[in-house]
Amino acid sequence: MKQVELKTRLEALLNANNVGPTQWKEGYTSDDVERILPLFQKGMEDCGIQGDLYMIWDHYNEEFDMVTGSSYLWLFNKEGLGTEISVPLLEEDSLDSFIEDVLSFHEGKTTLQHLDFELVDNFNAA
């Protein structure tokens, strides 16, 4: 039931903000993450799922003013332990994979680990 509730809520938030199911298929930037991850965070919170989403990037650019390289989406609990989860908006079914990962985290079915990172803005880190 929670899966249907979360999917319905996320789809409504994404649609209301003109975000398509494959929005990130051709790539995305840290600005895209800052615009879209708050929608996922809100959808999770609306469904009673606690956790903080961060896109963890490989490194900073040469000027150290933005993150770049490969990126991985992580979901953390309040104690700072987290797990890597599926990045949504890449393929038609990537929202479903994201939801499955979030629910596994919520239900305590994932192995959590500590990750050292430096927060760059609200949702991006390196």
Alpha helix locations (H) across 1-126?
Answer: 2-16, 30-46, 94-106
Q: List the domain boundaries for the chain.
A: 2-125
Ordered alpha helix ranges (H), 17-123: 30-46, 94-106
Residue 88 per-residue DSSP state: S
Regarding pTM above 0.95, the answer is no
Q: What is the dihedral of CA 71, 37, 126, 50, to 10 degrees?
A: -110
Q: What is the pLDDT of residues 44-78, one digit of tens each?
A: 999 999 999 999 988 776 665 667 678 898 999 98
How far apart CA 93 and CA 99 sit, in angstroms, is 10
Render pLDDT for 14-29 as a digit per residue (tens, 0 to 9).
Answer: 999 999 999 999 999 8
Asked if residues 111 and 85 have their Cβ atoms less than 8 Å apart, the reply is no
